[in-house]
Structure 1
Amino acid sequence: MLASLALAARAQASDGCAGAPGGDTASRIAAVACAEHASWYSPFIDEAGRLAHLRVSEAEALRLRDGTPAWRRVAAYWQGSGLGWPPDGLHAQADCFGAAPERNALCRSFLVDTPWSAVFVSWVMARAGVPGFAHSARHVDYVRQAWRGVGPYRYADPDATPPAVGDLLCYSRMPAPFGVAGFRAWLARGHDGPLAMHCDIVVSTANARARLVGGNVLQGVTMRLLPLNAAGRFWNLPRRTGADPECSPALPSACNLHRHDWVALLKLDAAANLPAPPATPPGPCCEICHLPMPPGMRRCAAPAPPPATPPAP
């Protein structure tokens, strides 16, 4: 895990990510998310809702900082998310880790066409060893779990509750905005079906600014910066309404990548904020390993049951 810890340290220094490797559950969540953000060359959306930096995207063969092609890293999120491998919808002849171009293309088309933001959250929770998390390819499943008071998270109003490291801030993608009250009413009616949503992971709340990391945000692992008020709550979250004007070059004031139907803050429950598991043996290790591995290198032990080892190229 040394490579990931180094990435996390760089992310903390350059991006304000919180959470030292190890520590409690919240710190581990932040360290994993920050390391991945750094690996994608730290793309971010600034406080004004403008994309400030983007270098690589999900479908590309361009390599991340650790040398992994971007599309293969997304496949690794699916494989290590706790959802089972291969995922539903992946073509039977697809190969996400081998060298055959035709079979690779089937995998890449699945990765591009299938949302993976909830898969990324599930992967982070698996890597951080979060107990009782509802691993899912749909954000609404763990939002619903939090609403019901089950698992490691508890539902809260994003306007009334200060965020903390390890929390999740979520919005609805439905065409007609819910608003916080409308979404709570929807949950209270006991709906069990799908709902298009997105959640970002809070990795820092320092200096009156929340930093959140999300997967599949502008086709990568991207940070968003949101201001906090003196009470530590989100300061005027940009909200999408039914009367929003269309973003266009003629109306740039209507363009804001933070403007969403923010409906839920999932708070990490104190009972789930546990100390780190026992330390792994000393020595260099890798999380996503290139085969053959160098002499003395080993695969890092995962805090959760590890995913199946990908076949050698």
Structure 2
Amino acid sequence: MQALRWGQVRSWPSKAALAAALLAAAAAAEAGDAGALCSATAAQAPADGRVAALIAEARAQHAAFGRQEIDSEGRLVRAGFGEAEFDREPGDPDPTWQKVQRFWSAWSPGSPGQVRDSQGRWQRTDLLRQGVNLASSARLASFGGEASEIGLNAREADALDASVQRAALVDNPWSAVFISYLMRQAGFGANEFVFSDAHADYARAAFATGRHEADHQPDTGAYRACDLADTPPRPGDLVCNTRARAAAITDFQALGLALAAGGSLPMHCDLVVDVNRGAHMARSIGGNVLQSVTLRSLALEPQPDPALPPRLAARYREHAADPDASLNDQPWVLLMQLR
């Protein structure tokens, strides 16, 4: 080591720099522990008995929506029923739009609570529906009018009320409430999963669960956050991508920091329903994918260590900047792994 000359002052790192270095080292150690746990869990079949019910409900909804499908090259190979339509399978009494409404109601009765007007401004759906009711013939007749001469008849009022509800389903993304619906139907409780209309809320909870595990603290969350670039998916896990390309949130670490900062973050998650490691293929089901419940095939690729199970193909993330080429080319960065 070079000796200091008389009068020369050694330049020591600032307190802020030291703190940052210590935090980085701690985060790296924590990430290493979490990564090892993620890898070990990925090599085992999910032990939670509710996985079968979770996947069965997802498959049932996919069938009810007309079995829309995207292949591993990101091509739409089968079109299903749209979110606001009256389409349904033969013998099914409920049109598609009422099924989407059921997803919302399972999360929060009366939602979605807003709809856009012609200028794109949000208006309350409850007030609009009240207005339709007030304009009905029966309602106006109660104020002394002739029901046959004024107001909307029952069918007209019903058509307007349904139109408000259907428009709200189009204006409000429902992919997160679809996942929340599946979790609730399978028997997961609020202490295990954050039921929400935003994927970021339960993704944030999964990161918190991972931190608690690394610190050997108790946590009741059903899912931990794992790096999808390194961790093979299993049935019952959630695979998630980000939609905030402008913020360059295209890897696991960046996502964790963004979620820790709080606030909203555009994301999407699918439920993994099948993994064929021999064929290097995983399949997932998600809601509000091209306005329907959609089955997606995702290619897997071998890891450097052939003893490890295959992971999600890197090409989807690498081509995420040009998603027009493939519907699968997204920043798939987060695996919510069932503990």
Q: Distance in 2 between matches of 1:102 and 1:40?
A: 24
Residues 36-93 of structure 1 show CA distances to partners (whole Å, capped at 9, x for unaligned) of: 1111121110011100000321121122452321111110111123x34344325114
Partner of 2:243: 173
Partner of 1:37: 62
SS at match of 1:257: coil
Q: Does the alignment pair 1:106 with 2:164?
A: yes
CA contact (8 A) 2:70 2:77 kept: yes
Residues 200-226 of structure 1 show CA distances to partners (whole Å, capped at 9, x for unaligned) of: 000010242111000000000001101
Partner of 1:256: 326
Tell me the TM-score normalised to structure 1 length.
Answer: 0.70
CA contact (8 A) 1:43 1:223 kept: yes
SS at match of 2:333: strand
Tell me the TM-score normalised to structure 2 length.
Answer: 0.65
For residue 222 of structure 1, the aligned residue among 286, 294, 299 is 294
CA RMSD of aligned residues (A): 2.3
Q: Distance in 1 between matches of 2:168 and 2:100?
A: 11
Partner of 1:235: 313
Q: Distance in 1 between matches of 2:256 and 2:238?
A: 16
Paired positions, count: 235
Residues 236-265 of structure 1 show CA distances to partners (whole Å, capped at 9, x for unaligned) of: 2512668x4584xxxxxxx10001122210
Using CA pairs under 8 Å that are at least 6 residues apart, name the structure with larger relative contact order, 1 or 2: 1
Structure 1 unaligned spans of 5+: 1-18, 248-254, 270-313
State the 1:184 CA deviation: 2.7
Q: Does the alignment pair 1:122 with 2:200?
A: no
Q: Distance in 2 between matches of 1:237 and 1:170?
A: 15
Residues 1-313 of structure 1 mapped to structure 2, 5 A cutoff: 24-64=49-89, 66-81=92-107, 83-89=108-114, 91-92=125-126, 93-94=128-129, 100-131=158-189, 132-149=192-209, 150=219, 151-176=221-246, 177-180=248-251, 181-187=253-259, 190-206=260-276, 207-230=279-302, 231-239=309-317, 244-245=321-322, 247=324, 255-269=325-339
SS at match of 2:73: coil
Which residue identity is paired with 1:238?
A: Y
Q: Distance in 1 between matches of 2:225 and 2:333?
A: 10
Alpha-carbon spacing, 1:240–1:140, altered in 2? closer, same or farther (3 Å): farther
Partner of 2:145: none
Structure 1 consecutive aligned stretches of length 4 or more whose deviation exceeds 6 Å? none
Partner of 2:140: none
CA contact (8 A) 2:64 2:88 kept: no
Structure 2 unaligned spans of 5+: 1-44, 115-123, 131-153, 210-218, 303-308
Structure number with greater Rg is: 2
Q: Distance in 1 between matches of 2:55 and 2:255?
A: 27
CA contact (8 A) 2:112 2:169 kept: no
Alpha-carbon spacing, 1:130–1:173, altered in 2? closer, same or farther (3 Å): same
Q: Distance in 2 between matches of 1:68 and 1:104?
A: 13
CA contact (8 A) 2:286 2:295 kept: yes
Q: Distance in 2 between matches of 1:229 and 1:44?
A: 21
SS at match of 1:216: strand
Q: Distance in 2 between matches of 1:232 and 1:33?
A: 24
Identity of aligned residues (%): 35
CA contact (8 A) 1:46 1:52 kept: yes
Q: Distance in 1 between matches of 2:73 and 2:272?
A: 18
